[in-house]
Amino acid sequence: MGRLKRILACVFCYALCLAVILCDATPAFAEEDDLSARAAQAQKEIRSMDVGRYGMVPVYGRDVADGVYDVKVDSSSPFFKILEAQLIVEDHVMSARITVSSLSYQWVYPGSGEQAENDKKENYIGYTDSSGHGVFTIPVEALDKGVPCAAYSKRRKRWYDRTLVFYASSLPEGAVAIDLPDLDVIEAAIRAYEAAPVTPAHMEPHEPPEAVTVPRSDGEYSIEVNMTGGSGRASISSPTLLIVRDGRAYARLLWSSSYYDYMILEDEVYHNQTTDGGNSTFEIPITVMDEGIPVIADTTAMGDPVEIEYVLTFYAESIGSKSQIPQNAAMKVLYLAAGIIVLGGVANHFIKKKRK
């Protein structure tokens, strides 16, 4: 009896491993690299945020009247939070007295952390204690422009790069001698543009591509597909699903990446059909068999969208049963494993009953 259980357990483990291998279109090491990259990026975003507003034009001291003004300032790091700031302008030279939220920083430096490490200590800017808040006075090259400001952590004993932006629009009327762009209007225009439907710029009115006819009844099959082009880092699953509809051939492509958002075939745009965050899938017509079909696939894996050219070749002689598709084969293995478990349970029941 114990031997039977061990055999069933081994069969199930092998079946489960095979199903995982067949279902996974992305190599394990690629997933680990992707997770590591995402974790590093997330940590970077926590420690450093974009500051400033689109359309800003630098405002220098020559265009600001002498005086002391309360000024709005943004910091690129939530760990270097500025509670308040005063802009000091003397003979058109600007500096700012900033009050940070704690006393965890010993010095600041008008530049990068690397520059601070290579400079003399007397050029570091120390703080004064104001009710548990650190107050630093730093030079300001320009308003409405990123000002580098490295901060030295007492506890971690290291410099951290920060960027500060002091906003000219927060100064009182008459303090700035030049006209400032209306950033609210600019941002509203950008939001309206981003909300509008986006179609690739090269698209023109056209006839959609026509799928080739195949001597098969309507239904679902498998077909081998080869892809060339690109960097070779992305791939599509083969064999892939072949759909015959009204006697014509269509392919449902499964990518090894979730970052592809559209494909283009003969100027027709096909959008990603995956909605749950999984690997990208597209259904496109097969316009010719056994010859290269040029396509474009747009990926956001590198940040900004990038259109990459590929060539797909579908092989007519490879058309076969839908069960040959890796994902379907994996499901069969799982069903087989489940059946073995059920049969094993039934056998176990009758063995115990017989012994009684």
Residue 54 in any domain: the answer is no
Q: DSSP letter at 303?
A: S
**pLDDT, position 286:** 97
Q: What is the pLDDT of residues 265-279, one digit of tens each?
A: 998 999 999 988 899
**pLDDT, position 303:** 76
Q: Residue 295: give the domain boundaries.
A: 219-323
**pLDDT, position 327:** 57
User: Does pLDDT of 32 surpass 80?
Assistant: no
Handedness of CA 109, 112, 117, 119 (dihedral sign): negative
Confidence of residue 186 (pLDDT cuts 50, 70, 90): confident
User: Does pLDDT of 333 surpass 90?
Assistant: no
Confidence of residue 31 (pLDDT cuts 50, 70, 90): very low
Can you give the pTM of this predicted structure? 0.46
Contacting residues for 240 by C-beta, under 8 A, at least 6 apart: 222, 223, 225, 251, 252, 253, 254, 325
Q: What is the pLDDT of residues 94-146, one digit of tens each?
A: 999 999 999 999 999 999 999 999 999 999 999 999 999 999 999 999 999 99
**pLDDT, position 350:** 54
**What average pLDDT score do residues 10-36 get?**
48
Q: Which of 118, 149, 180 is the last residue of a domain?
A: 180
Contacting residues for 76 by C-beta, under 8 A, at least 6 apart: 48, 49, 50, 51, 146, 162, 163, 164
Q: The domain that contains 275 carries what CATH number?
A: 2.60.40.1850
Residue 185 in any domain: the answer is no
Confidence of residue 200 (pLDDT cuts 50, 70, 90): low
User: Does pLDDT of 9 surpass 60?
Assistant: no
Q: Which of 180, 195, 211 is the last residue of a domain?
A: 180
Residues 162 and 137 in one domain: yes
**pLDDT, position 302:** 78
Apex 238 CA angle, 236 and 244, nearest 5: 105
Residues 276 and 245 in one domain: yes
